[in-house]
Amino acid sequence: MTDPELADATSIEPITPEIVARIIEQERAARPKDKLVLLPAMGGLSAGNYGAITGAPPATTRRDLAKLMRIGVLRRTGARKGTRFWIQLI
C-alpha cells in the first residue's frame, strides 16, 4: 500500500477513461499548483484483474483495454497470459 507520508491520496478504482478523467479533475481542483502524478499498482494490470474489478465480461474487457491503450491511458507489455497493462504517467 502507498505510504501516507509519500502520497496525498490513494484511489483504488476501475480503470476507465471516465474514472481516470474524474480523478485527474478532482486532484487538480484540490491542488491546482501541485504536480499531479498517477502511479499504477505494482505488477501491472491483467485483463482478468480488470474484468474482476469492473465486473465486465471478457469481450467488454478486451474492448475497454484496447480503447484505453488507443487514447494513451494504458500501455501494454508482454503477450498472452503474460500481458500486463500499465497506466501511463501523466
In a domain, 83, yes or no: yes
Q: pLDDT digit string (tens) for 29-48?
A: 988 888 776 655 556 788 98
In a domain, 33, yes or no: yes
Grid coordinates representing 6?
509519500
In a domain, 3, yes or no: no
CATH number at residue 46: 1.10.10
In a domain, 78, yes or no: yes
Q: Which residues of the chain have pLDDT under 50?
A: 1-2
Confidence at residue 81, expressed as pLDDT on a 0 to 100 scale: 85
Domain that holds residue 61: 17-87
Q: pTM of whole model > 0.75?
A: no
Report the number of distinct structural domains present in the chain.
1
